């Protein structure tokens, strides 16, 4: 777990870096990691269609019901909860009558 003081120390350290050097690095990272402008709209549309599907909506609802995105146990131990949500989904598929 990353503590608040650790995050503050990192933020203070990064704030001392040369802004121009950071901007250059960000430019080069974005250049190789972001899609071309023509590719972005169809990729975003595909993501939004997938995110709107009932499977993801049900998992997201369950995560938010368990206080996802709040300073809570689910945020601090996210990997455990993802495993539980995934296992619950797999188990429910096994028990459904055909």
Write the DSSP string, the chain: ---HHHHHHHHHHHHTS-HHHHHHHHHHHHHHHSPPTTTHHHHHHHHHHHHTSHHHHHHHHHHHHTTTTSSSHHHHTHHHHHHHHHHHHHHHHHHS--
Instruction: Say what the pLDDT of residue 29 is.
Output: 92
Residues 70 and 48 in one domain: yes
Residues 22 and 63 in one domain: no
Residues 30 and 58 in one domain: no
Number of domains within the chain: 2
**pLDDT tens figures, 74-83:** 778 888 888 8
pTM of full prediction above 0.75: no
**pLDDT tens figures, 12-62:** 888 888 999 999 999 999 888 887 888 889 988 999 999 998 888 888 888
Its domain, for residue 57, covers: 35-98
């Amino acid at each position: 777990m990353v503590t608040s003081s650790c995050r503050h120390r990192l933020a203070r350290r990064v704030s001392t870096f040369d802004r121009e050097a950071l901007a250059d690095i960000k430019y080069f990272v974005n250049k190789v990691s972001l899609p071309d402008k023509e590719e972005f709209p169809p990729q975003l549309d595909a993501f939004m269609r997938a995110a709107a599907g009932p499977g993801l909506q049900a998992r997201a609802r369950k995560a938010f019901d368990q206080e996802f995105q709040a300073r809570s146990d689910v945020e601090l131990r996210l990997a455990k909860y993802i495993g539980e949500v995934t296992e619950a989904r797999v188990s429910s598929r096994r028990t459904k009558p055909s």
